[in-house]
Amino acid sequence: MSEQRPINVLFIASEAAPLIKVGGLGDVAGSLPKALRKILPAKMKGRALDVRLVIPFHSAITQRLDSLQLVAAFFVPHPKGKIAARAFQTSVEGVPVYLIEGSSILSDQSVYSSDPRVDANKFIFFSLAALEMARAISWPVDILHANDWHTAISVYDLKIRRPQDPFFKETKSVLSMHNMPYMGAGSESVIYEFGIPECTCHGLPEWARNIPLPLGMFAADYLLTVSPNYANEILTPQYGCGLQDFLNSRKETVAGILNGLDETKWDPNSDPSIHFNYGPAQLNIRKKNKLALQTEFGLDKDENIPLLILISRMDQQKGIDLAVQGLRLVQDLDWQVIFLGTGDPIIEAACRSLEVELPNRVRAAIRFDLNLSRRMYAGGDVLLIPSRYEPCGLTQMIAMRYGCVPLARSTGGLKDTIVDDSENESNNGFLFEEASPEDFATTIRRAIEVFLNRKSWQLLQVNGMKSDFSWEKSAMEYSMIYQKLLGEEA
């Protein structure tokens, strides 16, 4: 009976760890498909989930893969003549992965370029090619699950094809938004060049009718964000990027599912890049990592001085300027801070100038250094996350796993994962409301006061270390949405 065929999910993304990772999306695309494939058919009315990942064959991937199989050579429609594409298959941790190759995915490009047209050309080609590939390998797609603006056009194109294309007639679509303000603006002419029909898109504001993300949002059968709180926030003018009215009009098909953390990859008990491994019952061992970190950065070696850390892409979104200004307001207190990250030169410069101003207690490591980040999680006392908005955020979860207490702005997924309430037995961090240096500073004072009380601090650390951030629960929630769309509610 057809009921017994697995539910086929084509998971399409611009990046996926460990093959290629630039940001948080890469972590999610690298771990969610694996978690979904682990759901037992017994929990799915007898149907397993056959989730397959498709990503562009970025040049950075080329050198690393030796076990590739060419599975399809096909064409992507284009008004000026169809464009040849090829799909190669590999497998990563049990997940089948397709890599799409074609002239628009040039071999000398980085994953994301600063030129919107170059990116538009690559990702719109890729979005259309993923659909053509499914047809070429005769793999009926039950659920097309796209992510962010880069792949949103696949969802829009699906909606256009569906009525007259028997292969996609029954395919349902889900679009996950990991960072809504990045909509793919600048792609307008490329959309037109690919012959993608214009959208009358009732309900979408006019400015949004030829931009990839809004088109995908319009077309998707289900819209998801990466935390429940962010899903509520985008319904408001403050976070809705001008699309809040549209989102409110389809509120019943908008939801937020919290990202998980690949807990095997982030475990202070076994992490080979930290000096001393430890678990929740060995916080005294953890202290040695702090002293090692202070030594590494030439800071005073003193376990009683709170060591603040900030690990982030240096982007306006992340509110690092609020932290830099806020720290100036608490100079009367004893603390040290280490910044790690790269990005916007203005933000990098702000971190460097604080280092010049307060050379005894500030260090700015302006680079991308994964191993250092692990040593920082293992040795820092407080992770600062002053984000202006945060669809989910991964660093707070990593920090908690490592016994580093998060101090974050109360927004998006940060609010869903951090409990700041001394009466609550899950209390595990500090939250501040306003995106202002003053509110940040007040909360630093509060955190340092608790830090000085060893027992209370350890409770926060242990609560964080014991929090469950595994993918299992979230994967079940995704599967329920897939089933709902297929009319197979469990």
Q: Taking a C-beta distance cutoff of 8 angstroms, is the pair 414, 461 a contact?
A: no
Burial class from Cβ neighbours inside 10 Å (0-12, 13-18, 19+) for residue 330 reads middle
Q: Which residue is nearest to ligand GLC (CB)?
A: 24
**Helix, coil or strand: residue 228:** helix
Q: Which of 334, 336, 263 is nearest to 299 (CA)?
A: 336
Q: Taking a C-beta distance cutoff of 8 angstroms, is the pair 363, 339 a contact?
A: yes
Does position 105 interact with ligand GLC (CB under 6 A)? The reply is no
> Residue 135 has which token pair?
């047809």
Mark the segment that binds ligand GLC (CB under 6 A) among 17-25, 31-39, 188-196, 239-247: 17-25
Q: Taking a C-beta distance cutoff of 8 angstroms, is the pair 365, 351 a contact?
A: no
Does position 314 interact with ligand GLC (CB under 6 A)? The reply is no
Question: How many residues interact with ligand GLC (rule CB under 6 A)?
Answer: 13
Does position 406 interact with ligand GLC (CB under 6 A)? The reply is no
Does position 122 interact with ligand GLC (CB under 6 A)? The reply is no
What radius of gyration, in Å, describes the C-alpha atoms of the chain? 23
Burial class from Cβ neighbours inside 10 Å (0-12, 13-18, 19+) for residue 57 reads buried
Of 28, 305, 378, 385, the one binding ligand GLC by CB under 6 A: 28
Question: Which is closer to ligand GLC, CB of 178 or CB of 374?
Answer: 178
Please report how close the Cβ of residue 373 comes to ligand GLC at its closest, in angstroms.
15
Does position 255 interact with ligand GLC (CB under 6 A)? The reply is no
Does position 395 interact with ligand GLC (CB under 6 A)? The reply is no
Please report how close the Cβ of residue 390 comes to ligand GLC at its closest, in angstroms.
5
Question: Which is closer to ligand GLC, CB of 26 or CB of 102?
Answer: 26
**Helix, coil or strand: residue 85:** strand
Please report how close the Cβ of residue 19 comes to ligand GLC at its closest, in angstroms.
16
Give the separation between CA 386 and CA 406, rounded to whole angstroms. 10
Question: Which is closer to ligand GLC, CB of 6 or CB of 181?
Answer: 181
DSSP state of 197: P
* Amino acid found at 399: A
* Amino acid found at 253: T
Does position 23 interact with ligand GLC (CB under 6 A)? The reply is yes
Please report how close the Cβ of residue 392 comes to ligand GLC at its closest, in angstroms.
3
**Helix, coil or strand: residue 343:** strand
* Amino acid found at 385: I
Please report how close the Cβ of residue 275 comes to ligand GLC at its closest, in angstroms.
28
Give the separation between CA 112 and CA 98, rounded to whole angstroms. 19
Of 89, 109, 179, 187, the one binding ligand GLC by CB under 6 A: 179
Q: Taking a C-beta distance cutoff of 8 angstroms, is the pair 381, 389 a contact?
A: no
Please report how close the Cβ of residue 258 comes to ligand GLC at its closest, in angstroms.
10
Does position 17 interact with ligand GLC (CB under 6 A)? The reply is no
Q: Which x/- pattern, by CB under 6 A, does the window 374-393 give for ligand GLC?
A: ----------------xxxx
Does position 437 interact with ligand GLC (CB under 6 A)? The reply is no
DSSP state of 28: H
Of 259, 336, 463, 479, the one binding ligand GLC by CB under 6 A: 259
Question: Which is closer to ligand GLC, CB of 153 or CB of 414?
Answer: 414
Question: Which is closer to ligand GLC, CB of 177 or CB of 376?
Answer: 177
Does position 178 interact with ligand GLC (CB under 6 A)? The reply is yes
**Helix, coil or strand: residue 446:** helix
Does position 258 interact with ligand GLC (CB under 6 A)? The reply is no
Please report how close the Cβ of residue 389 comes to ligand GLC at its closest, in angstroms.
8
Biggest CA–CA distance in the chain, Å, is 72
Question: Which is closer to ligand GLC, CB of 151 or CB of 259?
Answer: 259
Question: Which is closer to ligand GLC, CB of 112 or CB of 276?
Answer: 112
Which residues 61-80 are close enough to bind ligand GLC by CB under 6 A? Answer: none
Question: Which is closer to ligand GLC, CB of 379 or CB of 391?
Answer: 391
Mark the segment that binds ligand GLC (CB under 6 A) among 24-32, 96-104, 206-214, 359-367: 24-32
Question: How is 379-426 classified by DSSP, letter by letter?
Answer: H-SEEEE--S--SS-SHHHHHHHTTPEEEEES-HHHHHH----TTSTT
Work out the number of other CB atoms within 10 angstroms of the CB of residue 108: 5
Which residues 217-236 are close enough to bind ligand GLC by CB under 6 A? Answer: 226
Does position 56 interact with ligand GLC (CB under 6 A)? The reply is no
The two counts, helices (H) then strands (E), for the chain are 17, 15
Please report how close the Cβ of residue 423 comes to ligand GLC at its closest, in angstroms.
28
Give the separation between CA 201 and CA 205, rounded to whole angstroms. 8
Q: How many residues does the chain have?
A: 490
Q: Rule CB under 6 A: which residues touch ligand GLC? A: 23-25, 28, 178-179, 226, 259, 390-394
